[in-house]
Copies of this chain bind each other. A is one copy, B any other.
Amino acid sequence: MTEAPRRRKDAAATKDALLQAASELFSERGFSATTVRDVATRAGVNQALLFRYFGSKSELFASVLAHNSARMVTEVPAEELPRRLLSDLLSAEERNGEHPIVAMLRSWSDERAADLLRDELGARYTARLAELSEAEDAELRADLVLAWMFGIGMVRSVLGKSPLAEADPEQITRYVNRATAALLAGTDLSDDQ
């Protein structure tokens, strides 16, 4: 929001400012509701520079996604990931909703954004979550966990639906952790009901 007074001509600082502004706005409004004019204005920069440095709105979105989620996935150990994902989602509103996951949640509807999301999720999150299970279908179980996280983020942070939106994060965490632990460690259910 508050833009530091940058040096008058500094490409790197300008790029950073654009990236930061884009990260905030994509989280707040999603991909399609964020305009390049909004991003440039918040960055305190002429919008033509956005195209000079990033080429297009889609490429800007990809840059934001890569930049933000790379940081998270590499710095959090696999066994911490579900808990961390959830706690990030549950506390998103305290940070004005600015978070790569929330940016994702608000951006499915655009097809270009969805393509980027699919790759980003597969490469980073599912792969990491699947490490937690030794089952044959570990990746499917990981996807189910991921889907639940996203659904919760969606209903709580994007929709703001009660009572989930107002519920105690601790309580939600207890319910979800119990279920996901069972799912990831659970026995194979292929043949029983």
A→B interface (CB under 8 Å):
30-33, 105-111, 114, 117-118, 121-122, 126, 137, 139-141, 143-144, 146-152, 154-156, 158-164, 167, 171-172, 174-176, 178-179, 182-183, 186, 189-190, 192-193
Check A108 against B152 for contact (C-beta < 8 Å): no
The CA-CA distance from A105 to B154 in the complex, in Å, is 10
Of the residues B137, B146, B176, contact of A144 by C-beta under 8 Å: B176
Chain A contact residues, majority secondary structure: helix
Check B171 against A155 for contact (C-beta < 8 Å): no
- Please give, as numbers and ranges, the residues of chain B lying within 8 Å of A105 by CB-CB distance: 108
Check B118 against A143 for contact (C-beta < 8 Å): no
CB closest chain-B residue, reference A139: B163
Query: A82 CB to closest chain B CB, in angstroms?
Result: 13
The CA-CA distance from A74 to B89 in the complex, in Å, is 33
Of the residues B154, B163, B189, contact of A154 by C-beta under 8 Å: B154
Of the residues B30, B137, B140, B174, contact of A193 by C-beta under 8 Å: B174
The CA-CA distance from A174 to B105 in the complex, in Å, is 26
Check B32 against A137 for contact (C-beta < 8 Å): no
Query: A34 CB to closest chain B CB, in angstroms?
Result: 10
CB closest chain-B residue, reference A179: B179
Check B148 against A164 for contact (C-beta < 8 Å): no
Query: A27 CB to closest chain B CB, in angstroms?
Result: 12
- Please give, as numbers and ranges, the residues of chain B lying within 8 Å of A151 by CB-CB distance: 146-152, 154
Check A137 against B189 for contact (C-beta < 8 Å): no
Beyond the given A122-B162, A178-B189, please list 11 additional residue pairs across the A-B interface where CB-CB is below 8 A.
Answer: A109-B109, A118-B159, A118-B161, A121-B159, A121-B161, A143-B155, A144-B164, A144-B175, A148-B152, A150-B151, A175-B186
